Structure formats: structure tokens, C-alpha cells
Amino acid sequence: MSERDSVHKEIEKLQDEVQEMRKKMSLAENRTKHSEEEVSKLNCLDLCRKQVTKPEEHDFPITS
């Protein structure tokens, strides 16, 4: 095998590694985005729960 062929094989190998790494990065980014959305939802739910459990802190009277 010539040096040129060896270089081309190495380039192909590196391109494959880059492609695999991009796939992994994309999956990680998607997981991170999903996690951030879940945290946001949980924060919103927690805020709502706090407002419901402490009605005396509201600026408006609650009548039953």
C-alpha cells in the first residue's frame, strides 16, 4: 500500500469518527434540551403548588 493510500484510509477513518461524534453530540444536545424542558415544567408546577398551598399570600381575597 502506498503512502497516499495510507493517508486516504486515515482520512476516511477520521471522517467516520467525526460523523460518529456528531451523532453523539446531537443525541446529547437533545437529551439536554429535554431535561431543561422537564426542569422548567417542574419549576412551574412547584410554583403553582406553592401558590395553591399558601393562599394568604395572594393580593386578592379568596372567597368560598
Kindly tell me the sign of the dihedral angle through the C-alpha atoms of 18, 20, 22, 24: negative
Residue 19 CA neighbour count, 13 Å, CB half: 6
* pLDDT recorded at residue 61: 60
Cα dist. 18→2, 8, 14 in Å?
24, 15, 6
pLDDT score at 57:
58
Global pTM reads: 0.58
- pLDDT tens column, 36-60: 999 999 999 998 888 887 766 556 6
What average pLDDT does the segment 9-29 reach? 97
pLDDT at residue number 35: 95
What gap in Å lies between CA 62 and CA 64, rounded to an integer? 7
